[in-house]
Amino acid sequence: MTKALKYVLAVLLAGLALTLGAPAASAHGGPIKLEVIGDGDHNVNVLVTYKEDKHPVTEIVEATLTATATDGRTFGPVPLRSAPEGQNLYHAAEPLPSGEWKVTVKATEPAKASKTVTVKAGAVDVVPEAPATTLNPEKAAASGSVLSERSAAQDADDSGMALKIGIIAVVAVIAVAALVFILRRRNLYARR
């Protein structure tokens, strides 16, 4: 292989590496947002997303939960543990006792954040299964907006993937064209 061909291939591979590596590295980071809500029973769910792009935080989140009841009882600090239901969903390591609580969640990693909400623990109302719109239209609309935000984020991720694939295809075509050009030129000089 000639020096020129090696140089062209090295430049193309470096460009490809930079093109594919840079967006992934800079896609997330910065401040995080905590969404804290009671599960209606004895636990608290914490959804962790990035504030700027609303994508899920996939790094390990270090956070604690403390709570004060309306009757003066205290609970915690209790560490949050990753929940099996979702990538960026966390639960308190211990169940919250029954009652109304002012819950504060403080995260220290991957970024500092804090959120305080009021939660009722142990107040499970058993309602027969029915479409969400007939039970509580406002709640259904709110959960629909959360789902639409998540699907919009997923669509943005999908379009980012299509862009990466397109860039790879363009770089591959340029590499093949450069290789053909160099080989033709080499054959021309060899004939002389």
Question: What is the reported pLDDT for 17?
Answer: 66
By CB atoms closer than 10 A (0-12, 13-18, 19+), residue 2 is exposed
Q: How far is the first Cα of the chain from the last one, in angstroms, to the nearest whole number?
A: 19
Question: What is the reported pLDDT for 18?
Answer: 61
Rg of the chain on CA atoms, in Å? 26
Mean pLDDT, each 10-residue run in order, the chain (192 residues): 68 66 55 85 86 85 90 90 82 87 90 89 57 48 50 57 77 85 78 69
Question: What is the reported pLDDT for 59?
Answer: 86
| Tokens standing for residue 6 | 């090696």
Q: What are the DSSP calls for 52-101, one per residue?
A: TT-PBP-SPPEEEEEEEETTS-EEEEEEEEE-TT-TTEEEESSPPPSEEE
Question: What is the reported pLDDT for 13?
Answer: 67
Query: CA–CA separation, 192 vs 182, rounded Å?
Result: 16
Q: What pairs with residue 45 in β-bridges? A: 37, 91
Question: What is the reported pLDDT for 102?
Answer: 92
105, 34 contact by CB (below 8 A): yes
Query: CA–CA separation, 98 vs 122, rounded Å?
Result: 5
Query: CA–CA separation, 192 vs 189, rounded Å?
Result: 5
Question: What is the reported pLDDT for 21?
Answer: 57
- Scanning the structure block, which residue is given the tokens 């007939």? 134
CATH level 2 (architecture), domain 32-125: Sandwich (2.60)
